[in-house]
Chains A and B, each alone.
Chain A
Amino acid sequence: MPEPAAYPRAEGKLSPRYRAVLVVAALAILVIGSALRPRKPAPETATPPSQTEVRRLRSLAERQSLETMSRHFAGIAADVSSRLVRIGFESSTGVAWDADFVVAPGQSEPAAASTTLVPESGEPLAGTRVVGGPGLPLSAYRVAGRLEPAVRRESGASDLVPGQWLVAVWRGNAGSAFAPGHFVETRPTQCGELSAREVATSLGLSEPMAGAGLFDLDEVLVAVVLPCNGHYAALSLESVTLGLVRGRSPEGQLRALYGVRLVPLDEGSRRHLAAESGLLVSDVWEGYPADLGGLRPGDVILGVAGRSVASPEDLQPLLGSGESSGVELTVWRAREKRVIRLSPGPHGVPPSGEADGRPGLGLAPPDERFRIGQVAPGSPAADAGIREGDELVRVNGAAPRTPAEAERVLARRGRPVFVEVRSGPRRFGALLEPR
């Protein structure tokens, strides 16, 4: 092609009309052909996902986000588990309240005054119980070692928002465990003798979670799971602090060491028991040294170690020592003086589970139980805290032999009567004065 073929001699080849027809035909081909095109040139590639596939993908995505959440909670649990310890051989957890101070669930039965605490690092620490005892939902141990404190900010439960995520973290026998839940509300609750505030959540609290810390998503401790009258409740940090203060008071220590509660004599008891001065034993917990030593509600303590007592401050000899020989009490019972020797601490405490035998109890329990079937609301008995289902142990210092005898004594009108009642492991006395 020596001469360029690109210089065409095209004029006159096609008439304008013919050309117009061609243009219209080409346009028609494009429009019609485009309309007739198969929408899916390759059927197997362009099939839209089926309904089931869409559902499967969606559920997969949702599952993935749930798994992400679980991982997040697990991360929180891993972070905070260094602030928790496992309590000895029990399957309960303790929260490192301070570097050398651990808050743990209270025991319903007398427990040893020292135990081993196992932190996350694995090296067991010796812990001495400094708070505890009957009626308190918590106990506390002083440890010889340094822990990472869980309590960082005392803001507690006040800034919780309903629905916000909380994670309960505890130390099981096989590492730490966690359960996420939603905060519901804070509400007042009664835990033993502690009027507390409970952080209510959607979590079902159960025994393995005893002592668990409840953390928010910023890993701030907001509550501690503690036993509460037969169930478990997450108590706010303020309530735990209150319980600790209670437990560390002389009264609380007395209770923790001996399982006894002493109250000043009021006018009615003084007259009824014919006691001049001293402290009235109002409550005794079974299995504790006071119970084992024979002390019972209605006794009046006149002297400790040879010195007379008139106020709780005079009981210092009972708290201060811890000498194994024990301490001698001068006790006024049934208008007689007698001496009772008490040994504090773990000495003489029966292993838990054998508490029913109650060796050394002064008086064998009556063969027949005197279950209280009914308590009239507003009556002196109700005011004294006697509840239906409690057992009547003694009336005016003597165990009734038959229900009829007990009823006869109680029915005597116009005279005050001192009753001793068993409510669970606690025996307490009350002077019922007619109105």
Chain B
Amino acid sequence: MNELSSLGLILLLALGAGHLVKFARVPEVSGYLVAGIVLGPSVLGWVSEQNLTALEILSEVALGLILFSVGTVFELSRFRRVGRQVLLLTLVESALAATIVSAGMLFLGQSWKTALLLGAVAVATAPASTLMVVRENDSAGPLTDSLLAIIALNNIYCIIAFSLVGSAIDLASGLDGPASLLSTLYVSLYPLAWQLVGSVALGFLVGTLLAAWASKVTETGETLILLGGAILLCVGLSRVLDLSPLVASMAVGATMVNFTRHSGPLFDTLSRTDPPFYAIFFVLAGADLDLGLVGSLGLAGVVYLLGRAGGKLLGARLGAEWLGFEPAVKRFLGLALMAQAGLAVGLVITIQRRFADLAPTVSTIVLASVVVYEIVGPISTRYALVRAGETRLPQHDDLVI
């Protein structure tokens, strides 16, 4: 089947699946993912590996748009007020998840390198599916407020933790002398600084461009062109410069929301036109999931699954208690943080490149548990939002970021 017919099938089946799952009180995202799993190589094979590769660019665009939306939670005026607490809460929750996973791996007899790498990967949370659940349910409230910021921070923490663990492994395995110590540190830590600072700088530049131009553009179509161009430019440039498209796209959103008053119409346009992209994104993500991997989960995989879930739940609970968050956050934040997807898979690819000897164990565990988290995560997030009472009636067609 060629790319266009795959794409058509993807869109129509995603819509159908989205309708179907509403009866089951399951987020649309889960419907898209299931449609993807069914269409993909694991089940029917109508969307082949080649189709997936060819359509990957659409996924990247969609992810850029999603992260752009996520970035808008960093509105300075608001973030100044709650920022410190959110940062700390995220730190507690991330650290606990990482610690429990690493400890569990060490307990199972894995090497410290494997244990620490898995701990770092465990920090990541899927922004896309969480955001989609928030949007679909039009949810708003203290939990929703802090959830998106925490998810954004989670991924930044994950990148930092992964880089630190990576350089520790580099240092431990390739320590030949003082000169090589310096160069090892440079080689393994510079990318971290570069990915954070450089990505923010790139996102800031693109965001400034977008903000400046947005004031001149009023027509919906033109707004869309501007937005699409900016996001594509941002994702493309970050690939060229070895930056993190995730951080850069979030930085575009953050810049927009802080520097221009014209972002309102822009986001209106975005939310009206981007659903097809998201449908494609999640169906492709589902097609990319290899159901067969769940069978290879093994004891270590179960420990990773439970350790990460336990760490997030416990960390969110304890952190929220300690920092005095609202009851809804205390009780349900952890449940809303279950989803894990793209970033974890991306890190696995990095591990395969950088630490080939550790890759087999880590890949099996992470890729298999991503299948589980990707399906369970949105359902869990929806449950948390509903229980926290932050979902609104579906007919209320308001914009929520």
Contacts and interface: CB of A to CB of B under 8 A. Distances in A.
A8 to B, nearest CB: 5
A228 B39 CA distance: 77
Contact of B259 (A5, A10, A33, A38): A10
Interface in B148-188: 174, 186-187
Given A33-B194, A37-B190, A10 B241 contact: no
Interface stretch (A23-31, A51-59, A67-75, A242-250): A23-31
A19 B353 contact: no
B141 A10 contact: no
Given A9-B77, A33-B194, A1 B141 contact: yes
A26 to B, nearest CB: 4
A2 B398 CA distance: 10
A222 B343 CA distance: 69
B261 A36 contact: no
Interface in B238-282: 241-242, 257-261, 263-264, 267
A9 B262 CA distance: 10
B310 interface: no
**Contact residues on A (Cβ < 8 Å of other chain), bracket:** 20 to 34
B201 interface: yes
B190 A26 contact: no
Nearest to A36: B190
B295 to A, nearest CB: 30
A237 B140 CA distance: 98
A19 B257 contact: no
Q: Is the interface of A mostly helix, strand, loop or mixed?
A: loop
A191 to B, nearest CB: 66
A4 B265 CA distance: 12
Contacts of B186: 38
A395 B194 CA distance: 110
B9 interface: no
B187 A10 contact: no
Contacts of B401: 4-6
A7 B263 contact: yes
A412 interface: no
B90 interface: no
Given A9-B77, A10-B257, A33-B198, A4 B400 contact: yes
Nearest to A28: B201
Nearest to B195: A33
Greatest chain B CB density within 10 A among A4, A40, A45 is at A4
A25 B198 CA distance: 11
B229 to A, nearest CB: 18
B72 A13 contact: no
A8 B205 CA distance: 19
A14 B75 CA distance: 14
A8 B400 CA distance: 13
A30 B75 contact: no
A6 B198 contact: no
A29 B197 contact: yes
A10 B190 contact: no
Given A30-B202, A30-B241, A33-B194, A10 B140 contact: no
Contacts of A40: 187
A293 to B, nearest CB: 88
B208 interface: yes
B258 to A, nearest CB: 6
B73 interface: yes
Contacts of A27: 201, 205
B75 A5 contact: yes
Given A19-B208, A30-B198, A5 B191 contact: no
B12 interface: no
Interface string B360-401: 000000000000000000000000000000000000001111
Greatest chain B CB density within 10 A among A11, A40, A43 is at A43
**Contact residues on B (Cβ < 8 Å of other chain), bracket:** 35 or more
Contacts of B81: none
A2 B354 CA distance: 45
Contacts of A25: 201
A29 B140 contact: no
Contacts of A13: 76-77, 258-259
B145 A1 contact: yes
Contacts of A364: none
B239 to A, nearest CB: 13
Given A14-B259, A37-B242, A30 B205 contact: yes
A10 B197 contact: no
Contact of A33 (B144, B197, B398): B197
A2 B261 contact: no
Nearest to A46: B353
B264 A6 contact: yes
Nearest to B197: A29
B261 A8 contact: yes
A43 B202 CA distance: 26
Contacts of B205: 23, 26-27, 30
A43 B204 CA distance: 31
Nearest to B198: A33
A217 B270 CA distance: 69
Given A8-B260, A10-B259, A41 B187 contact: yes
Given A13-B76, A33-B194, A45 B354 contact: yes
Given A4-B398, A37-B194, A45 B353 contact: yes
A158 interface: no
Contacts of B25: none
Contacts of A325: none
Given A13-B258, A26-B204, A7 B264 contact: yes
A363 interface: no
Contacts of A36: 190, 194
Contacts of A7: 261, 263-264
A36 B189 CA distance: 12
Nearest to A45: B353
Contact of B144 (A1, A6, A10, A23): A1
B159 to A, nearest CB: 14
B78 interface: yes
A1 B201 contact: no
A277 B76 CA distance: 137
Contact of A22 (B144, B204, B400): B204
A41 B191 contact: yes
Contacts of B76: 13
Interface string B222-241: 00000000000000000001
A34 interface: yes
Contact of A6 (B174, B193, B242, B263): B263
Contact of B140 (A1, A19, A22): A1
B242 A41 contact: yes
A42 interface: yes
Contact of A8 (B204, B208, B263): B263
16 contacts: A1-B140, A1-B141, A4-B398, A5-B401, A6-B264, A6-B399, A10-B259, A26-B205, A37-B191, A37-B194, A38-B187, A38-B191, A42-B353, A42-B354, A43-B174, A45-B354
Given A10-B261, A41-B354, 17 more contacts: A1-B140, A6-B72, A8-B261, A8-B263, A10-B257, A13-B77, A13-B258, A22-B204, A26-B201, A27-B201, A33-B194, A33-B197, A36-B194, A37-B190, A37-B242, A38-B186, A41-B187
Closest 4 CB pairs of A and B: A26-B201, A29-B201, A42-B354, A7-B264
Interface of A: 1-2, 4-11, 13-14, 19, 22-23, 25-27, 29-30, 33-34, 36-38, 40-45
